């Protein structure tokens, strides 16, 4: 990219590069990356499009556009993603938080009461557990993940976000292990929540390259039928749920009935399938009988 460009000219260049690369949201991504590289907000870009991009901003923007043109997700370039009104650090070791998952958090919050203990299985960036702790009072939580690299990000997010509360900082502990591994055998939780890998193995190669080639496969692959981790979580969760405790699971759009049946077979009651903003099945929840 040539030097001495204005904000508007730099944006037009970036938009053209992303369009040629086949990026679906080329216009939006070019603007967001320019704003991020220049440390400005949306209003500044539109009100002062004639300002010149500095040499350092020019260099950084060219690198960011090259990365996005290679289908690296925008969130991995900027290193952040907003979720539940909070800004989370993300990198290639964690799944990028999605708006659909906010439905899961909101369903847990309908049930959550002060002082409850929460377990987030397959915590990734920690966005589910941290959001629940941030918006509740006197709750504590544990997040588990098989990836130590993911847990480093979760821990950093917890320290930064939970420390920003005006109330007392909630306690969040992160444990490395495969689902419930690493927990004490007598650990009990009022809520167990999970957004596990649920995409069928044979579908992954058909996903958009941003997901297929850059997000961690371990966080996507739900094995042959996509239900592998649901079977394990539903079977094993009962040992860690308090009497009357609740299990909340995010699901794929076509998995509602299958996961409902798994929970019924395991003896859960009051099972519900909740739809997302698009009207698709997104969450299955149920209670452990006392």
For the domain covering 92-288, report its CATH number: 3.40.50.150
Enter the pTM of the model: 0.94
C-alpha of 271 from chain center: 24
Domain ranges of the chain: 7-70, 92-288
Gap between the Cα atoms of 57 and 55, Å rounded: 6
| Cβ atoms < 10 Å from Cβ of 206 | 9
* Spans of the chain, pLDDT less than 70: 1-3, 290
Q: What is the pLDDT of residues 83-92, one digit of tens each?
A: 999 999 999 9
Residue 243 sits at φ, ψ, to 5 deg, of -55, 125
Q: What is the pLDDT of residues 1-37, one digit of tens each?
A: 656 789 999 999 999 999 999 999 999 999 999 999 9
């Amino acid at each position: 990219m040539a030097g001495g460009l204005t904000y508007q000219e730099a944006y037009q260049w970036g938009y053209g590069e992303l369009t040629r690369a086949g990026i679906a949201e080329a216009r939006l991504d070019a603007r967001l990356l320019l704003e991020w590289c220049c440390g400005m907000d949306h209003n500044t870009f539109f009100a002062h499009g004639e300002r010149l991009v500095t040499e350092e901003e020019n260099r950084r923007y060219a690198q960011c556009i090259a990365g996005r043109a290679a289908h690296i997700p925008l969130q991995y370039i900027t290193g952040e993603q907003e979720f539940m009104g909070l800004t989370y650090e993300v990198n290639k070791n964690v799944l990028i938080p999605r708006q659909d998952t906010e439905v899961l958090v909101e369903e847990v919050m309908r049930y959550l009461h002060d002082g409850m203990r929460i377990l987030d299985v397959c915590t990734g960036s920690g966005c589910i557990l941290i959001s629940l702790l941030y918006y509740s009072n006197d709750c504590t939580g544990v997040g588990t993940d098989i990836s130590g690299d993911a847990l480093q990000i979760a821990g950093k997010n917890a320290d930064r976000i939970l420390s920003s509360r005006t109330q007392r900082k909630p306690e969040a502990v992160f444990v490395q292990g495969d689902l419930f591994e690493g927990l004490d055998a007598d650990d009990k939780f009022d809520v167990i929540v999970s957004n596990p890998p649920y995409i069928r193995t044979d579908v992954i190669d058909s996903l958009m390259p941003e997901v297929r080639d850059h997000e961690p496969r371990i966080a996507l692959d739900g094995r042959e039928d996509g239900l592998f981790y649901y079977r394990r979580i539903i079977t094993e969760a009962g040992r860690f749920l308090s009497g009357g405790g609740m299990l909340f699971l995010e699901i794929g759009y076509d998995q509602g009935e299958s996961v409902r049946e798994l929970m019924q077979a395991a003896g859960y009651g009051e099972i519900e399938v909740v739809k997302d903003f698009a009207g698709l099945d997104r969450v299955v929840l149920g209670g452990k009988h006392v």
